Structure 1
Amino acid sequence: MIAATGSGSGKTMITCGILNCLKRRGLKVGAWKCGPDYIDPMFHSRILGVSTRNLDSFFCDKDTIQYLVEKREMQEDISVIEGVMGYFDGIGFTETGSSAEIAEWTKTPVILVVNGAGMSRSIGAVLKGFQEMEKTKQIMGVIFNRISKNVYKGMAEMARNLGIIPIGYVPKLKEIQLPSRHLGLVTAQEITSFQSQFDLLSDQLEQTLDWEQLLKLAAEAGTFDRKEELNDITVFRKENPEAVTVAVARDEAFCFFYPENIELLEQLGCNVCFFSPLQSQELPKHADALYLGGGYPELHAKQLAENKKIRNDILNAIQNGMPCIAECGGFLYLHRELEDEQYQFYPMVPLYEGKGLSGDRLGRFGYITMRAEKDGLLAKKGDCLYAHEFHYWNSEAPGSDFYVRKPGNGREWMSSYHTDTLYAGFPHLYLYGNRKAAMSFVKAAQKFQKRKVNGK
């Protein structure tokens, strides 16, 4: 695991550089990202060509996290987990959802990235503090960022005196920058020059990191009992063997979805077909359910509006009872109109009369729990879903079928729509952490399929 003392320490850049260097060595490399982030995994996969998944201990219990890790370990020579925020930072002032919790559950050795700029001997206090805070002693190495070779000598010695292995350092690299936008980092496909920047970074890391020690630490990762499949998935497949087809929106406007969600739907017996609301003229034939994920529809509002045929097709499908999950950007797409970044309004799929409106600040951010106020597609009344929100755009009609609570500060509000065939709202769902909801969605698709076959 590549973790850090806090956000902005350089762990994403260094993780990407390490992944690139490992690929150069001919290794089959996999990557994980702690937490619910979509953007960093997109960099790993689209720029570096490294398969990336999320590990989130707010969404998933320990057995599920270990299952997800061991499911991939036989396919790769080495896996790199990128941490989230500061190493111990979880929900509120707990370690729930933190990089430290993931490192403990997965028995993974940790290399801590420390921004050493403007520091000298004080670096020892930082390392000792992190060392003493940790229960299971996963922190085994350190990389110092934004320092010179001369400064590194002293910092490395201080690390050794504390029993922490100095893996190397990264000097200040002004030519390598990662632009920002309203959802954090820009999407990977928009940065045409980024591969060359990674190559420059990797060239530097080849010189200033101790690769023998890094690979030696990776080899010390622990193991746990192998699980062929989670028991509830096995039982569901036996009791519900009918295969169904789920149409999933995927293009530049709808690019935020967890690959694990797709994998779980496939494990539950779904055939997944992708389509583009920007380009496709109709939904995939034989579709029994619809999944509209998040993304940047506001950046493509004009083109989405121009594809009137697919908008009508989607509206008719939902109104005819096709089960649908619409998250965040997918939810905005179901509004009568959507405002773009130039404050122009364009027609969308008019399932809801309200408008999707631009926001000048982050409206919702972080983990939430969602209690269903009535029976619906994903849950029975009183059931709880685990989700997260991250959006600037707002809705004139946000829905009120779930009671939502933010566990970090106790804030509460009502949100989203939930009928027998539809979930629509800003919250994003990680389905491995909400497997009952995923199974309910598949059952609804099977019911819709039977209705089509019977001509009803």
Structure 2
Amino acid sequence: MNEMIIAGTSSNVGKTTITMGILKWLQKEGYNVGSFKVGPDYIDPQFHAKALGERGHNLDLVLMGKKGVVEVYEEAMNKAEVSVIEGVMGLYDGDKEEGVKSSTAEVAKLLHVPVILILQGEAMAETAGAIVLGCQKYDEDLRIAGVIVNGVSSKAHYRLIEASIQKKTGIPVLGFVPKDPVMAFPSRHLGLSIDALGEDPIHEQLLGMANFLEKHLDFPKLLSLTMSRKKAVPSLKKHVETTIERPVRIGYALDEAFSFYYKRTFELLQKAGVELIPFSPLKDQVLPKDLDGLYFGGGYPELQGEGLSGNVSFRKDLLKRLDQGIPTLAEGGGYMYLCETLVDLQGQVHEMVGFFTGQSIMTKKLQGFGYRGITLGEKRLLGHEYRHSYLVEEGDAFLCDGLYDHGKPNFCQGQHKKNAYGSYVHVHLLSNLEVVEEAVTLCRDWRLTHGTR
């Protein structure tokens, strides 16, 4: 078994593109690969899915805790030969003087996984050794197994960087990634990108990345340095015992407008006996039959405003079901969709479902970002918020606190109407397993009182 964390000396050094190329190379060579992403990002695991055919898990110490991170990782690794964990930001970024340490380095130490450090080598030579030495000495309990140099224009330049790193640190350098169009993804919308996910050519590009990296990186050495002696652990006991004779059926929105979900949330629902049914607010005329609950994750409804607004048949059917009281959770873009109207960046107004009150207005400026604790009634969940919109006539169903933003006042957001809950926060159900049980019970009870159609 092999294990590695692909970390960076900072953000924007090429972690995602190099990770994608490594994932595709491993798959091409016949390895059974498990992929993971440090932190709350729901975009990169979708890119992992394009390389491997399966969405990766998030490993977030804030949302999941140490126990949850270890559990998710070990359970997933029972099915894989190689684990590739993509880091977040710089190697040590995310650690706080107070509160949970959530950096890539902390996850690496917790899971005892070696680090492959990516360094942006453009416009430097000897300084490369100083940067890697600093990362090595900053926390000597962390094992940096190898270095990949990105963005180097020539082999002669690479040799200068390689010599500096090996002289100062002794850490093996596994090669360099020259600048090339094959290693470039499209520019990101508002700092995130899923535009390429729906394009067939991405499969060819990923294979091109794998072949390109094969020419420039020492993959045999990479596998040798990341060899693990760990043994597979028994599958962990289900958090929520399955007691439902007939499966509860929860539909979730999945298309170009909605795709931001945590894989573990789906697994927890399935372990509780839930059958998950995808549907498309863009393409379907009505909701699937016999649903007992609805889940609208985040996404880019502002990029699909015309299509969402134009699908009047679906909006009318959905509004009818919401008015009947079907249990529903809507997050981020899904919350915006259930409100009255959406104003995109071009100023165009699009009619949405109209169940919740308010108009969401897109802006180029970031309106909300960070970990959140949200409380509804007596239940508290942890989640993450990243948004470039605000809601006129925002509700106050959720009491929110910015985790580790000491001194900042708590605030309220979101709406609760009948059995539907909506807010900008993307919650992680592993942060409160009681909510899983209660959600399944609510869906089952609703089915018993309202029947199915």
Task: Quote the offset at 1:53 in angstroms.
Answer: 1.9
Which residue of structure 2 lines up, in the alignment, with residue 61 of structure 1? 65
Shift in CA distance, 36/62, structure 1 to aligned 2, threshold 3 Å: same
Report Cα offsets for 1:190-229 as digits up to 9, x if no partner: 4554444433432331122111111112322645854422
Aligned to 1:157, which of 163, 177, 182? 163
Amino acid at match of 2:225: L
Deviates more, 1:128-137 or 1:205-214: 128-137
Task: Quote the offset at 1:285 in angstroms.
Answer: 1.4
Shift in CA distance, 327/366, structure 1 to aligned 2, threshold 3 Å: same
Q: Does 1:387 align with 2:386?
A: no
Which residue of structure 2 lines up, in the alignment, with residue 118 of structure 1? 123
Deviates more, 1:419-428 or 1:190-199: 190-199
Aligned to 1:81, which of 67, 77, 85? 85
CA–CA distance in 2 between the matches of 1:78 and 1:454? 44
Shift in CA distance, 454/124, structure 1 to aligned 2, threshold 3 Å: closer
Would the aligned equivalents of 2:78 and 2:233 in 1 still touch at CA under 8 Å?
Answer: no
Which residue of structure 1 lines up, in the alignment, with residue 300 of structure 2? 296
CA–CA distance in 2 between the matches of 1:243 and 1:359? 41
Structure 1 residues 281-430: aligned runs within 5 Å: 281-372=285-376, 375=377, 380=378, 383-410=379-406, 411=408, 412-418=410-416, 421-430=419-428
Structure 2: gaps of 5 or more residues: none
CA–CA distance in 2 between the matches of 1:323 and 1:50? 28
Which residue of structure 2 lines up, in the alignment, with residue 96 of structure 1? 101
Q: What SS is found at the alignment partner of 2:48?
A: helix
Shift in CA distance, 218/397, structure 1 to aligned 2, threshold 3 Å: farther
Would the aligned equivalents of 1:27 and 1:77 in 2 still touch at CA under 8 Å?
Answer: yes
Q: Give the alignment's Cα RMSD to 1 decimal.
A: 2.3
CA–CA distance in 2 between the matches of 1:99 and 1:133? 14
CA–CA distance in 2 between the matches of 1:201 and 1:85? 22
Which residue of structure 1 lines up, in the alignment, with residue 442 of structure 2? 444
Shift in CA distance, 126/450, structure 1 to aligned 2, threshold 3 Å: same
CA–CA distance in 2 between the matches of 1:436 and 1:87? 34
Amino acid at match of 2:104: S
Q: What SS is found at the alignment partner of 1:246?
A: strand
Report Cα offsets for 1:134-176 as digits up to 9, x if no partner: 2522221111111232233343334334232212111222554
Amino acid at match of 2:43: I
Shift in CA distance, 420/291, structure 1 to aligned 2, threshold 3 Å: same
Structure 1: gaps of 5 or more residues: none
Would the aligned equivalents of 1:19 and 1:29 in 2 still touch at CA under 8 Å?
Answer: yes
Report Cα offsets for 1:63-86 as digits up to 9, x if no partner: 221221122223222121100001
Aligned to 1:29, which of 30, 33, 36? 33
Would the aligned equivalents of 1:66 and 1:224 in 2 still touch at CA under 8 Å?
Answer: no
CA–CA distance in 2 between the matches of 1:133 and 1:419? 50
Shift in CA distance, 339/406, structure 1 to aligned 2, threshold 3 Å: same
Deviates more, 1:1-10 or 1:131-140: 131-140
Deviates more, 1:409-418 or 1:443-452: 409-418
Would the aligned equivalents of 1:282 and 1:313 in 2 still touch at CA under 8 Å?
Answer: yes
Deviates more, 1:413-422 or 1:326-335: 413-422
CA–CA distance in 1 between the matches of 2:233 and 2:203? 38
Which residue of structure 2 lines up, in the alignment, with residue 202 of structure 1? 210
CA–CA distance in 1 between the matches of 2:351 and 2:436? 30
Aligned to 1:12, which of 10, 16, 26? 16
Task: Quote the offset at 1:336 in angstroms.
Answer: 1.2
CA–CA distance in 2 between the matches of 1:186 and 1:248? 18
Would the aligned equivalents of 1:326 and 1:423 in 2 still touch at CA under 8 Å?
Answer: yes
Deviates more, 1:78-87 or 1:189-198: 189-198
Shift in CA distance, 187/54, structure 1 to aligned 2, threshold 3 Å: farther
CA–CA distance in 2 between the matches of 1:274 and 1:175? 33
Task: Quote the offset at 1:421 in angstroms.
Answer: 2.1
Would the aligned equivalents of 2:105 and 2:142 in 1 still touch at CA under 8 Å?
Answer: no
Which residue of structure 2 lines up, in the alignment, with residue 219 of structure 1? 227
Which residue of structure 1 lines up, in the alignment, with residue 264 of structure 2? 260
Q: What SS is found at the alignment partner of 1:89?
A: coil
CA–CA distance in 1 between the matches of 2:257 and 2:106? 34
Task: Quote the offset at 1:46 in angstroms.
Answer: 2.4
Q: What SS is found at the alignment partner of 1:6?
A: coil
Structure 1 residues 177-192: aligned runs within 5 Å: 177-178=184-185, 179-191=187-199
Would the aligned equivalents of 2:55 and 2:263 in 1 still touch at CA under 8 Å?
Answer: no
Task: Quote the offset at 1:49 in angstroms.
Answer: 3.1
CA–CA distance in 1 between the matches of 2:432 and 2:143? 29
Amino acid at match of 1:120: A
Aligned to 1:141, which of 140, 143, 146? 146
Would the aligned equivalents of 1:91 and 1:407 in 2 still touch at CA under 8 Å?
Answer: no
Q: What SS is found at the alignment partner of 1:356?
A: strand
Which residue of structure 2 lines up, in the alignment, with residue 166 of structure 1? 173
Q: What SS is found at the alignment partner of 2:34?
A: strand
CA–CA distance in 1 between the matches of 2:248 and 2:349? 36
Shift in CA distance, 248/317, structure 1 to aligned 2, threshold 3 Å: same
Report Cα offsets for 1:2-45 as digits up to 9, x if no partner: 00011111111111111111122121222111111121122121
CA–CA distance in 1 between the matches of 2:6 and 2:287? 41
Would the aligned equivalents of 1:359 and 1:393 in 2 still touch at CA under 8 Å?
Answer: yes
Q: How many residue pairs are counted as aligned between the two chains?
A: 443
Q: What SS is found at the alignment partner of 2:443?
A: helix
CA–CA distance in 2 between the matches of 1:216 and 1:150? 26
Would the aligned equivalents of 1:315 and 1:349 in 2 still touch at CA under 8 Å?
Answer: yes
Deviates more, 1:168-177 or 1:345-354: 168-177
Deviates more, 1:46-55 or 1:117-126: 46-55
